[in-house]
Chains A and B, each alone.
Chain A
């Protein structure tokens, strides 16, 4: 079992986004994932994940699958690089569905504290520490 992050990101530099990419990354690799996106945009823009949830691998991966399936009609192309973008939509619609996954599908996702939302590069290590501490508290 490994801990994962479910994330939503937007196109870099867009202020009122209507297109969102949903994705997953291992919790201990989330910084590397952000770095890959940062690499693509360079120093003119700080890459970040707008919203994140943390959970066990199976929950996070299932949530990603379900989100993509639910918004299939909003994914405009299966073309490489485009198949993960949910287009022309309010982010609230995605957030509502993620909530539905928790309430009605019993997929266990944890909301990190507000200081980790959005998640930028400098916060990644703190996020990992927070989740480890949270699990330790639950185990006690």
Chain B
């Protein structure tokens, strides 16, 4: 009797647990509900929320802070502390001050060595209204502001003749429970942890995609030129490439752009031609970064060695060869790398390997045009 009852209890439990919604499903539902309010949908992943597309839902293109928070909450779940429930000004940390530069110092316990070449680098880009405010602790013993972030900024400001430095700082809490020594120790520990968090653990470097998009939208001349070439060839720069004409390998995009035409001294000619080749040959495929760069190099080397760019008929002939021998663009560079590795025993630099492989493939199957000599020679299909 009791065994039978236990069985039923277990079955009931199984049924109950099968109704439970998993954390993955809960997240999916939160994201779905959140996106329902927006006519233009956008990607919401753990690693990024596509703010550029999200902004198109707003008449002025500005996304309110609350909406971004709601988006992040949809991905992460609701925060423990309710929004707008804490006034940080009452916490009194950190405080802001314009500090006389002679009152600023460094305690190497929580600072790395200073790099004069990094000072030179940021000095060349220095603009008074663009500095990030350095962070410090206020030493209770000396009264000096000891920087745990922005030491190189301080150096540049000082070399620029500034009398004062803007500083966010925290002070030691000295009370009945903490002596001066203890409070100083706590403060130093906090500074060390903050330094490491800012410079190591919490650092999220700006990716190439973000750097390109920001440069384009802020009017950087070179980025705008690259974008214009991309647009003209009916391609689009994306964080991840999925659709026809998507380009996600920004490093190779700029690598192809940077190839200078010897006769004119102009950049971008080979990138443009390479994109045209890719789009005409594989119109439904995303643009493979290494193929884009390798084809641009092929055009550059061929023009250098033969005196002229191959005509449009070359693109057609070579495109058909590649589709017949390999098929999709992704397969072309993958197989060429494999051939190289099989022949030499290890893989070389991808641009050289793939450019050479493309030239070797044309030399083997093509008939009509003279092309450059490959930098490396190995058997290909």
Residues of A participating in the B interface, judged by any CB pair closer than 8 Å = 1, 56, 58-59, 62, 69, 77-80, 104-108
Contact = CB atoms under 8 A, between A and B. Distances in A.
Contact of A79 (B28, B285, B331, B334): B28
B24 A79 contact: yes
B242 A59 contact: no
A59 B327 contact: yes
Given A104-B283, A107-B327, A108-B331, 5 more contacts: A59-B328, A77-B28, A78-B24, A105-B284, A106-B282
Contacts of A107: 327-328
B303 interface: no
Nearest to B330: A62
Contacts of B28: 77-79
Contacts of A62: 328, 330-331
B323 interface: yes
27 contacts: A1-B335, A1-B338, A58-B328, A58-B331, A58-B334, A59-B327, A59-B328, A59-B331, A62-B328, A62-B330, A62-B331, A69-B242, A78-B28, A79-B24, A79-B25, A79-B28, A104-B283, A105-B282, A105-B284, A105-B285, A105-B328, A106-B282, A106-B328, A107-B327, A107-B328, A108-B327, A108-B331
B263 interface: no
A80 B24 contact: yes
User: What is the predominant secondary structure among interface residues of chain A facing chain B?
Assistant: loop
Between B283, B284, B328, B334, the greatest number of chain A beta carbons within 10 A of the residue's beta carbon is seen for: B328
User: What 3 A-B pairs come out closest when comparing CB atoms?
Assistant: A106-B327, A108-B327, A104-B284
Interface string B160-201: 000000000000000000000000000000000000000000
Contacts of B283: 104
Contacts of A59: 327-328, 331
A20 B304 CA distance: 53
B17 interface: no
B22 interface: yes
Query: What's the interface size class on B, roughly?
Result: 10 to 19
Contacts of A79: 22, 24-25, 28
A59 B22 CA distance: 35
Nearest to B323: A106
Interface in B255-286: 282-285
Interface string B317-358: 000000100011011001100100000000000000000000
Interface of B: 22, 24-25, 28, 242, 282-285, 323, 327-328, 330-331, 334-335, 338
Contacts of B335: 1, 58
B322 to A, nearest CB: 9
A107 B329 CA distance: 9
A107 B75 CA distance: 36
Contacts of B282: 105-106
A37 to B, nearest CB: 22
Contacts of A77: 25, 28
B339 to A, nearest CB: 11
A10 B284 CA distance: 29
Contacts of A69: 242
Nearest to A65: B242
Contacts of B327: 59, 106-108
A58 B330 contact: yes
A5 B263 CA distance: 50
A62 B242 CA distance: 11
A106 B335 CA distance: 15
Instruction: Identify which of A105, A106, A108 gathers the most chain B CB atoms within 10 Å of its CB.
Output: A106
Contacts of B22: 79
A77 B282 CA distance: 31
A60 B135 CA distance: 54
A90 B331 CA distance: 30
A76 to B, nearest CB: 9
A73 to B, nearest CB: 11
A118 B330 CA distance: 30
Contacts of B334: 58
A61 to B, nearest CB: 10
Nearest to A76: B28
A77 B32 CA distance: 11
A99 B327 CA distance: 14
Nearest to B22: A79
Contacts of B285: 105-106
Chain A CB count within 10 A is highest, among B22, B284, B323, for B284
Contacts of A108: 327-328, 331
A28 to B, nearest CB: 19
Among the interface residues B24, B327, B338, which one has the most CB atoms of the partner chain A within 10 A?
B327
